[in-house]
Structure 1
């Protein structure tokens, strides 16, 4: 099978490669670029474990061929933290608010929440739940995931986090 030349930017770094046309983006990221944060979960686009940000949109990378990403700007979980390794407010909030259990969904969840907070810096609980609806947590840790996103939104806005009364 002939290979196709692709150029893309991943986490701010330019990459060029020859890929088979049938190579899924998630496999290209994991196998060719060694960026293993996007997890292969269902391979049907239902779980969201492979979520990355492409040109300002959340995309499930198991539903896209690498050749379709030619020319794109891609953010993976590896690119969310600062270059010096300082965690992004979302990553720190997931840690602090116990927004992860087994951790399998966490990279996709954080990348999706990152886009959500760029689109809506102060989302309500309902908006957060709707915004992450395409990302599944098999451990059912949604309450703490929502709390972590709320905490990150407050942190990014420079406001104190006030947990809602239950």
Structure 2
């Protein structure tokens, strides 16, 4: 038997063993907890878009049902507030720093940090906002989506200031 055939037989046996030893109840892919950082990042990336239809479409890739509309309306309210303050916000990073699985495996209590740069006419500052929420995630054919979102804390603090223009 040639080396190539031996390697092929070993690969086939390994795949068969993996198939039979896997947990059939476990769905493929990441868990809800593992998917959460990417979903939150998708939400904030959607917020960075300018076209209203593009924002709504991008939010639809991270959320489902009424959560899409709720997130979209929250963004519109933030845009109105930014315009009233003559400011613009740029998201620099989103970091999930604590998660706890709740009784249902698709429910996660999470805390995350959002670092952004706020530009006003006279100055620029970076802001760190801390949030926590109880989240329900739903597995769809296209992956996980936020299905429910109950904000439990929002700490908006201009924590990092620096002088400068633009």
What TM-score comes out, normalization by structure 2 length? 0.26
RCO comparison, higher one (Cα < 8 Å, 6+):
1
Q: Identify the structure with the greater strand proportion.
A: 2
